[in-house]
Amino acid sequence: MARGRADQGLLVCGTGVGMAISANKVVGVRAAVVSDTFSARAARQHNDANVLCMGQRVVGPGLALDILDTWLGASFEGGRHQRRIDKITAIEAAQPRGGVETR
């Protein structure tokens, strides 16, 4: 994603938490740990999450597919939510070297 090869990503580990923590170190990544469809939709619509993280020990296979379908089917609403994304982008820009750089 940081190199522009993908617009969205999916990461899975035991809980999803470690993957999200690591992914969010990369400039431009907004990773969300999700274990239900409501959060999947809100992560996209309100936070423009571009990486979905799920825990294999938390979410069963059927629910994981429902979450992924919901997340992929939702889109960023912009509007009042854009201010939040702008604040996140400003925080990234203020960090030394702008956070983790990938080349």
CA distance 93 to 95: 6
pLDDT at 102: 55
- State the catalytic residue, choosing from 13, 58, 74, 100: 13
- State the catalytic residue, choosing from 35, 46, 74, 88: 46
Domains of the chain from N-terminus onward: 9-96 (3.40.1400.10)
The residue ranges of the chain whose pLDDT is under 70 are 97-103
pLDDT at 74: 97
DSSP letter at 52 equals: E
pLDDT at 93: 85
Is 53 designated active site?
no
pTM (two decimals): 0.85
Give the DSSP H/E element, type plus range, for residue 9: strand 9-13
Q: Which two tokens stand for residue 32?
A: 């969300």
Is 13 designated active site?
yes
